[in-house]
Every structure is written in C-alpha cells, then in structure tokens.
C-alpha cells in the first residue's frame, strides 16, 4: 500500500513536470490538486513554481500556480489529517 | 493523530512554504536568473519532445498532423493577405488624419520555440535574445509584410526572449476600429473582446489597429453582438494569424 502510494506520488510529479514543460496548462494544475488532496506533496509546490518561472510574462507578475499550490497545501491539511494520517 | 506529529507536519509545511517563497523572491531579486535557466530547460524539453513525436511510433498521426498544420498555415497566410490588403486601403483613406502606420522598421526574424498554447499566461518563447539585439518592449509581428502584431517582448535572456501575446487573458489594449477608439480585453487563444457604443459603425472584417503599436494592425473583427436593450455592442476580435502553426515571427522596435 505504501509502495503504491509512493509510486503514484512520483507519477503525479513526473506528469506535472511534463505538463509544465510541454503539456496543456490544466495538466500541471490537475496533478497539483490531486497531490495536495492526498499527500500534501512538497514536490507539487515545485511543479507550480516551475510553471510560473517558465511562463510568467514579467518578473513582478502574480505567480498564480505557486500561490495556488501553497494555498492548497495548507487548506487541505485538516482534511488530510482527518482521513489519511494514521 | 497526536499533537507531536501534527506539529511536525505543520513545521514541514511551513518549511516548504518558506523555501518556495525564498526561491521566488531570490529569482525576482536577481533579475530573473533562475527563470532564464528554466527557459533554457524548457526550450530543450520542447526539442526533445518534438524529436520523440517525429519517431516512427507516431508516423501516421504525424502525417495527419503535418497535413493539418500545412492547411492551417495556408488558411492563415490567406487571411493575413486579406488583412494586409485591407490595412493598406485603410491607410490610404486615413492619409489626412494624424495616424500613420509605421511599418518596415528595423528588426529580426526569430523562430517560435514553444507553443503559445502551453502557457497559462499567454506567453511563448522565441529563439532570439539580447545577443541578437532583442530588447524588452520590442513588438513581435507575424504574417506577411507589414505583419500583424501578435505580442510584445517582456523578458529577454542571452539567446531567448519571452513574448506576451496581445490577446493574453486580462491584457487590455487601446485600439481603433473604423476610427472608433475601444479598449480591447484579451481572452486568450487568439481572441479578444471590446465594448463599443451601439451606433459605432463596426462590422465583421474591420481591421483593428493599435495606436500604441505604431498604428499596426493587431486583429480583425470576427463578430459583433448588438445589445438590443443596452447602449453598447460587444465586438469580438480575432487574430488573423494561427499562432499554433506559426514557425517564425519578426521582432521589431516599437
């Protein structure tokens, strides 16, 4: 069970990186949301940061993906504690 | 879950948050050094994926895709010729007015190295940078001469530049359509919208010109929705160039 969880988390991360570099914008967003729902994955925050550093139009533009991933990281924490942490 | 583990988890989340913010602030403070490196990685990834997609595994799909893109390019070329012709006629009519089209300026051609559809912010990378003379604020044109403005350079690296599309989401641009000044709001995907007075003489096919871009054309009117109860009409504008099929753009000084 633990191995499956770890594998799935890795797959989401790889898919998120691929989506950030070469896929449609919704792909990294979907992997971030799914990762945050289940694990509070720190690597999903990296995916959001990658999207913003790669595509933001200017230095001071608002980093939507980074802020969204950090927000989801904190917002889903009570739910993760309730349902997934033993 | 006991409080010790809760505190540990909270501490972990806090560290992740602080590190992420630190990375972002460091990049901003350094003037975009980190994102310059990531642009290089992104351009490289695009090349690798393009090589992979051209392999035999995707042969039949590639043939159809190639034909599809070829046809789209032809349509885009014909649409651009129509826009060019209409733009030249509009210039002739407007000779007594103040506005003039400042075309044929000095610039360089640059390859489009990432698809405009990949970015959630309406940006794409081109293969020309500071070394090639590209500067922040330069206009990016596509299509046959004099070309249609499709974007503006917002970031530059040594050999690459990031271009923000004119019609990127939530980007506002002041334009003229049939002599009527409007504020155009980008909606992404090569389309934009503007609200015009109800009695404004705007019709489908009218050329959209941006005074802030030297009076160059930036689009055509695709549809006009008249509000029967209100005092305005909604003008839908589209880019007459298919950015998905555009291989090269022309970077010109503003």
Alpha-carbon span B238 to B221, nearest angstrom: 6
Q: Which residues in chain B touch residue A51, judged by CB atoms under 8 angstroms apart?
A: 120
Distance CA B209, CA B102 (A): 12
- Cβ pair A57:B122 closer than 8 A: yes
Task: Tell me the whole-structure pTM to 2 decimals.
Answer: 0.69
Q: Are B84 and B146 in contact (CB under 8 A)?
A: yes
The whole-number pLDDT of residue B104 equals: 55
Please report the pLDDT score of residue B99 as a whole number: 31
B203 secondary structure, DSSP code: -
The answer to whether the Cβ–Cβ distance between A61 and B31 falls below 8 Å is no
- Determine the Cα–Cα distance for residues A76 and A57; give it in Å rounded to an integer: 29
Q: CB contact, 8 Å: A1 with chain B?
A: no
pLDDT of residue A34: 93
Interatomic CA distance for residues B27 and A58, integer angstroms? 12
Cβ within 8 Å, pair B20-A40: no
Q: What is the DSSP letter of B102?
A: -
Q: Is A51 on the interface with B (CB under 8 A)?
A: yes
Q: How many CA atoms lie within 13 A of B54 on its CB side?
A: 7
**Position B125 pLDDT exceeds 50:** yes
Please give the angle made by the CA atoms of B38, B43 and A30, to the nearest 5 degrees. Answer: 70
Q: How many helices (H) and strands (E) does chain A have?
A: 5, 0
* Mean per-residue pLDDT over chain A, rounded: 90
Query: Rounded mean pLDDT of B149-161?
Result: 93
Instruction: Give me the mean pLDDT over the B176-203 stretch.
Output: 92
CB contact under 8 A, A64 and B120: yes
* E strand spans, chain B: 107-111, 123-126, 139-142, 148-156, 161-165, 172-177, 180-188, 191-197, 207-210, 216-226, 232-238, 248-252
Q: If contacts are CB pairs under 8 Å, which of residues 196-235 in chain B contact chain A?
A: none
3-state secondary structure B150-189: EEEEEEECCCCEEEEECCCCCCEEEEEECCEEEEEEEEEC
Residues of chain A contacting B45 with CB distance shorter than 8 Å: 21-22
Query: Is the confidence at residue B83, as pLDDT, over 70?
Result: yes
Task: Please indicate if any CB of chain B lies within 8 Å of the CB of A52.
Answer: yes
> Phi and psi dihedrals of B11, rounded to 5?
-65, -40
State residue B95's pLDDT score.
Answer: 38
Could you tell me which chain B residue has the CA closest to the CA of A71? B17
What is the C-alpha end-to-end distance of chain A, expressed in Å? Answer: 14
Of B12, B27, B46, the CB nearest to A53: B27
Mean pLDDT of B234-250: 86
Is the pLDDT reported for residue B108 higher than 50? Answer: yes
Poorest-pLDDT segment among B43-47, B49-53, B226-230, B250-254 = B49-53
* DSSP character string of B1-33: --HHHHHHHHHHHHHHHHHHHHHHHHHHHTTSH
- Whether the pLDDT of residue B96 is over 90: the answer is no
3-state class (DSSP) for residue A35: helix
């Amino acid at each position: 069970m633990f191995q499956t969880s770890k594998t799935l988390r890795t797959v989401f991360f790889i898919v998120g990186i691929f989506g950030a570099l070469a896929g449609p914008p919704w792909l990294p967003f979907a992997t971030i949301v799914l990762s945050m729902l289940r694990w509070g994955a720190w690597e999903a925050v990296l995916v959001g940061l990658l999207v913003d550093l790669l595509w933001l139009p200017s230095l001071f533009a608002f980093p939507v993906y980074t802020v969204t991933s950090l927000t989801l990281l904190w917002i889903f924490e009570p739910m993760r504690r309730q349902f997934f942490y033993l | 879950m006991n409080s010790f583990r809760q505190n540990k988890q909270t501490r972990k989340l806090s560290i992740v948050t602080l590190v992420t913010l630190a990375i972002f602030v460091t990049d901003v403070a350094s003037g975009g050094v980190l994102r310059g490196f990531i642009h290089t990685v992104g351009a490289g990834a695009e090349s690798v994926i393009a090589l992979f997609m051209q392999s035999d595994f995707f042969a039949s799909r590639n043939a159809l895709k190639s034909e599809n893109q070829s046809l789209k390019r032809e349509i885009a070329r014909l649409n651009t010729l129509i826009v060019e012709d209409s733009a030249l006629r509009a210039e002739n009519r407007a000779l007594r007015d103040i506005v003039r089209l400042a075309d044929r300026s000095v610039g360089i051609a640059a390859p489009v190295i990432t698809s405009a559809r990949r970015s959630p912010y309406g940006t794409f990378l081109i293969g020309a940078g500071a070394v090639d003379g590209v500067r922040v604020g330069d206009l990016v044109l596509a299509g046959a001469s004099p070309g249609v403005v499709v974007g503006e350079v917002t970031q530059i690296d040594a050999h690459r530049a990031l271009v923000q599309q004119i019609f990127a989401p939530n980007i506002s641009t002041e334009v003229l359509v049939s002599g009527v000044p409007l504020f155009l709001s980008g909606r992404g995907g090569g389309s934009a919208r503007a609200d015009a007075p109800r009695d404004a003489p705007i019709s489908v096919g009218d050329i959209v010109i941006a005074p802030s871009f030297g009076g160059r054309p930036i689009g055509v009117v695709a549809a006009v929705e008249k509000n029967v109860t209100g005092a305005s009409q909604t003008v839908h504008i589209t880019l007459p160039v298919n950015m998905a099929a555009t291989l090269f753009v022309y970077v010109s000084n503003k």
